[in-house]
Structure 1
Amino acid sequence: MIMAYLNDKLISANDAKKSDDFSCPVCKEKVVLKKGAIMSPHFSHRKNSDCLTLMEEGETEEHLLGKQQLYFFTQYNETLVENYLPKIKQRPDLLWKSLAIEFQCSPISINRLEQRIGGYKKQHIKSLWILGSKYRKRFGQPSTNKFYYYFEKLGFTMFFWLTAKNKLEIRYNCRYVYGKLKYQMIEVSSLHELMQFLKNPGMIMSDRKNIRYLFDELRRIQNQLFYQNKRTIDWQNHCYLNGHDINGAPIECHFSNTCLPLFGKDYLVWKILILNGLVDNIECKQLLEIVNDIYKLQVHYPLIKSPEKFILKEYANILSILSKKGYIRIIGDRIQIIKSLNWFDDYYQKIQKLSQCEGAFVDRI
């Protein structure tokens, strides 16, 4: 802990003196001030304590330092540090008005994260999850993806605290372009700067069409097949059942090459599986469920309200393209096939065709 009681008043470990007597804000037991050359100043419980906060002790230097820096980041007006909320038995790192600020450095399961967020909601408290250096190194991996936020003006967004710079790094407009994770980034020095940025983020970049990136994406799938990637082999087998090659997917798969992080780097495969599963008179909902099951699409984003809506919107967009181009007609909740899509025999036939009409194809996508 970085805060404790001294004579019924909260005091920070930075300002405390070792000769004083301190008590825990939660259990009121005596705690020990620790100031040394290695760890940032902090308070620690004595052995054999039963305090509920003990599970959070043994914090890293990064977490201790980050909490102190974030306290000043909020400009500490109306900010409570490690304030225990007895009704939900949670203690946010910082509580600013009705905003809980959590500096997450250690691993946390998706279930535990959902419980923490749900607890704050019960108290009508919003939560801002700021990630440490280990998560920053794993940006784009499943263990980190659960911390995505979504803002109308920013798109998918994630927050990281930089202890070396004493700044908040915001990675926003996160999306996959031809299977590669892209984003914009800015650093802010105060909560006020963060609020201003969320209101007015400035220009949001769009992505240029480039068939060379498409070739790279197709080669990646081909390489995964060559090296017997289990997941890709499974997708290929599903295509084989309908007489198709996954790398020979129709041109219509490439009319949209930018996707949200929900789909990951294999967004192209998700579209291919949709076209592969198209059969006459299939229900729209049934086709999506079949494809998501094959693709193993996971939608666990506890900081985003109804993430499924992004999946449905993208799916509707694909069906709309196919309808406008005269391949399908949607009657009620069923898809009627009007004309067949053109699948290539294999990867090489498709690459050759794309190379021959590169200029015209870029215009089409």
Structure 2
Amino acid sequence: MLIARNKAGELVAALKAKKQEEYHCPVCQKPVCLKQGQKQRTHFAHQREHCCKIVTEGETNEHIAGKNWLHQRLENSQLEVYLPQLKQRPDLLVNKTTVEFQCSVLDLSRLKARTKNYQSFHYQPWWIVGQRFIPQQQLSQLQKAFCYWQQTAYLWHLDTAAKQLRLYYLANWDFNRGYQWQCQNVAENTNLTSYTSHVSSLTSNKFYWRNAAYKRFLRQRLFQRQPRFLRLQHFFYQRNSHILDLPFWCYSSSRYHFFFEHELLLLRFLYLRNNNCQQWIKDLSQLKWQWDFPLVSQKIILKEIYLECQRLSGREKESFLPPKKGSCDSIESNRRG
């Protein structure tokens, strides 16, 4: 950690701390040591016999350097402020925005719980990831959980070696090649406090996609008896249908493949079986799916998918009736690799 209290009770930054003085953790009040050296960034660390209820994991040089860099760039930011009501301590606090620079792996359930806790107290969580989480053609569910959404998925990354904040945003998803990303550097003179302005114009690129080619891809995977596609076909078989017998529009490309990939076919199939959004949502909830995207509104995405189905199927004249409050809460993203 980068902040500790001295004997007078004052908060002192690690870079300004003196080796001979005593310091204590602002959260648990137990003694901490000032760590300095050529191979490690200057920081405070708990003594081995002491375990803090908030600071429970070691910090990497990348994490320490990133917090210092963000603190210098973010106007009116505070380092490691403990929020007693939440029992959490974000890396930085800027008014009602909690900034978390994540460099190490953490459990998805913990990420969701921390994010939900911030949001329930009306804080806006801003997750920025380190080198480990740079998006690739294939993504883990944890990588996807760090993504935000504004017309397309996007993710914030801080390269501490280059001292550069970057914005990765999804260009497209292809059933053969996976995810394709574009990267945009955030200029040094940009006011990061108003960071949302950087994503207002992001859009997915148009790319080559053929519905017939996607059907052939699905047929090949079924012929090869790949488990994921057999599970998909089993869903259709139980409902007296087949994954290859859907209307042609169901095999169209969609920016919502980011959330569901091939399982988007299930949502489109259930749309065909229902006359209204209420019934569609009810059928989805019976699948007992869990929403694993804590930074994206599930209700907004489901509404957009329903409207996309209306447009693709030529039923746009139908009115959209929003689902009842709480009816989306039990839906899961049944995504399996």
Tell me which residue corresponds to 1:68.
68
Q: Which has the higher helix share?
A: 1
2:279 matched to 1:302?
Answer: no
Q: How many angstroms apart in 2 are the aligned matches of 1:284 and 1:313?
A: 11
- 1:84 is matched with which residue: 82, 102, 109? 82
Q: Specify the SS of the correspondent of 1:247.
A: coil
TM-score, normalised relative to structure 2:
0.77
CA-based RMSD of the aligned residues comes to 3.6
Larger radius of gyration: 1
2:314 matched to 1:314?
Answer: no
Aligned pairs (5 A) from 1:85-234 = 85-136=83-134, 140-151=139-150, 155-172=152-169, 175-176=172-173, 180-188=178-186, 192-195=190-193, 198-199=196-197, 201=199, 204-208=202-206, 210-211=208-209, 214=211, 216-234=213-231
Q: Is the Cα–Cα contact under 8 Å of residues 78 and 92 in structure 2 kept in the other structure?
A: yes
Q: Is the Cα–Cα contact under 8 Å of residues 176 and 264 in structure 1 kept in the other structure?
A: no
Q: Specify the SS of the correspondent of 1:124.
A: coil
Cα deviations across residues 100-135 of structure 1 (Å, max 9, x unaligned)? 111122333343233323333354322111112222
Q: Is the Cα–Cα contact under 8 Å of residues 13 and 41 in structure 1 kept in the other structure?
A: yes
For structure 2, which runs of at least 5 residues remain unmatched after alignment?
322-337
Q: Relative to 1, partners in 2 of residues 1:68 and 1:231: Cα closer, same or farther, differing over 3 Å?
A: same
Q: Is the Cα–Cα contact under 8 Å of residues 3 and 79 in structure 2 kept in the other structure?
A: yes
Q: How many angstroms apart in 2 are the aligned matches of 1:203 and 1:83?
A: 33
Q: Specify the SS of the correspondent of 1:28.
A: coil
Tell me which residue corresponds to 1:359.
none
Q: Tell me which amino acid in the other structure corresponds to 1:148.
A: C
Q: Relative to 1, partners in 2 of residues 1:22 and 1:115: Cα closer, same or farther, differing over 3 Å?
A: same
- 1:259 is matched with which residue: 240, 255, 265? 255
Q: Is the Cα–Cα contact under 8 Å of residues 31 and 43 in structure 1 kept in the other structure?
A: yes
Cα deviations across residues 233-256 of structure 1 (Å, max 9, x unaligned)? 1222444567755335432324x4
Q: Relative to 1, partners in 2 of residues 1:5 and 1:283: Cα closer, same or farther, differing over 3 Å?
A: closer
Q: Is the Cα–Cα contact under 8 Å of residues 154 and 170 in structure 2 kept in the other structure?
A: yes
Q: Tell me which amino acid in the other structure corresponds to 2:265.
A: V
Q: Is the Cα–Cα contact under 8 Å of residues 178 and 214 in structure 1 kept in the other structure?
A: no
TM-score, normalised relative to structure 1:
0.72
- Which stretch of structure 1 is more off in the superposition, 63-72 or 215-224? 215-224
Q: Tell me which amino acid in the other structure corresponds to 2:17.
A: A
Q: Tell me which amino acid in the other structure corresponds to 1:317.
A: E
Percentage of identical aligned residues: 26
Tell me which residue corresponds to 1:46.
47
Q: Relative to 1, partners in 2 of residues 1:137 and 1:171: Cα closer, same or farther, differing over 3 Å?
A: closer
Q: Is the Cα–Cα contact under 8 Å of residues 4 and 11 in structure 1 kept in the other structure?
A: yes
Q: How many angstroms apart in 2 are the aligned matches of 1:222 and 1:9?
A: 67
Q: Specify the SS of the correspondent of 1:259.
A: coil
Cα deviations across residues 222-279 of structure 1 (Å, max 9, x unaligned)? 332233222211222444567755335432324x41222553321663366347x64x
Q: Displacement, 1:91?
A: 0.9
Q: Specify the SS of the correspondent of 1:246.
A: coil
Q: Displacement, 1:219?
A: 4.1
Q: Relative to 1, partners in 2 of residues 1:97 and 1:141: Cα closer, same or farther, differing over 3 Å?
A: same
Q: Is the Cα–Cα contact under 8 Å of residues 236 and 242 in structure 2 kept in the other structure?
A: yes
Q: How many angstroms apart in 2 are the aligned matches of 1:172 and 1:29?
A: 42
Q: Displacement, 1:332?
A: 11
Q: Is the Cα–Cα contact under 8 Å of residues 173 and 179 in structure 2 kept in the other structure?
A: yes
Q: Is the Cα–Cα contact under 8 Å of residues 172 and 204 in structure 2 kept in the other structure?
A: no
Q: Relative to 1, partners in 2 of residues 1:263 and 1:34: Cα closer, same or farther, differing over 3 Å?
A: closer
For structure 1, which runs of at least 5 residues remain unmatched after alignment?
334-365
Q: Specify the SS of the correspondent of 1:176.
A: strand
Q: Tell me which amino acid in the other structure corresponds to 1:208.
A: K
Q: Is the Cα–Cα contact under 8 Å of residues 253 and 271 in structure 1 kept in the other structure?
A: no
Q: Relative to 1, partners in 2 of residues 1:331 and 1:169: Cα closer, same or farther, differing over 3 Å?
A: closer
Q: Specify the SS of the correspondent of 1:263.
A: helix
Q: Is the Cα–Cα contact under 8 Å of residues 73 and 191 in structure 1 kept in the other structure?
A: no
Q: Displacement, 1:168?
A: 1.7
Q: Tell me which amino acid in the other structure corresponds to 1:309.
A: I
Q: Displacement, 1:11?
A: 2.7
